[in-house]
Structure 1
Amino acid sequence: MTAHQSTFLIVDDDEFFCRVLERALTRREFDVRVAYTTEQALQVAREAPPEYATIDLKLSESSGLKLLPELLAISPDCRAIILTGYSSISTAVEAIKLGAVNYLCKPVDAPDVLHALDAEEGNPDAEIPDNPPSVNRLTWEHIQKVLHEHDGNISATARSLGMHRRTLQRKLQKRPVKR
């Protein structure tokens, strides 16, 4: 009889990232499943409820924040983390409220993911930046918050911000501003 392999679900629309993480986790003896869309993720989870999961915040057709509660409804004990290249304070807070055990900014590797999944408590010694965020960073985070409040609707977000829709789209295509 073989030892129990923990099931691990990777949900990300970046196929290269998925292959790399899948290979690294398989070497660590996880039973890894990969999904590139929300629909695939839910189907895979129904077939083999995961014990662990990484979910990309910005999927091509949806948001990892929308997927997270659905995944946890299927597998309530799943320890899930949100991964993103578009980090903001508001999405980090929402991810934790929705049941994620952690929130990581890409790029990440398998040791980063496993460490984040193993962390049972907060770290009171976490680094506190010497400088406050830049105005550009605060603007970026505010846009992300308003976008989230409007369920990703660009037109409604632009109206709320008093900004032209195309201007907002250009701002959203850029990478997050450094702190």
Structure 2
Amino acid sequence: MAQDLDTAERAATADERTTLETFLDYYRDAVTRKVHGVSGEDARRSLVPSATTLAGLLNHLCWVEFSWFEVVLAQTPRSELPRPPWSKDDPDADFRVGPEESVADLIERYQRQCTRSREIAARYELSHTVPNRRLGEVSLRWIYIHMLEETARHAGHADILREQIDGTTGD
């Protein structure tokens, strides 16, 4: 029976950290699977009134990973980090992707950032807390839960967009 289970289902009896990491990786992979094989034009197609596109979701999630793991968890000084694309005047800038970035480049950059996030998280216990300008303090546990919510929500968006583009459904 275990061979019929997907990776996330196999974590059903794992410890808390393994379960959180397994589910987050499952949704990270789901997002890239949804974008894989789509042309650059289709990945940038606007199918909903918001700025949400398949390419934009990858770019956004890359910045979300960067923000929560490198900026918040690792407390890397902002002066040592690239400046995020969004601002008060343009809060959705991270959903826009330039024409020079291929789908393969976006997937590779996202996967590289996810690997970096895993490396950073591995240095801390789930109960490790760090200051956060909006919430006061957050734990790695909270960051994992938030990233699960964020990534799963956008995986659902990607699922709908991919179905609109070419009818592809499922994982």
Q: TM-score, normalised by structure 2?
A: 0.28
Which is bigger in relative contact order (C-alpha 8 A, separation at least 6)?
Answer: 2
Structure with bigger helix share is 2
Q: Judging by fraction of residues, say which structure has more strand.
A: 1
Q: What is the TM-score normalised by the length of structure 1?
A: 0.27
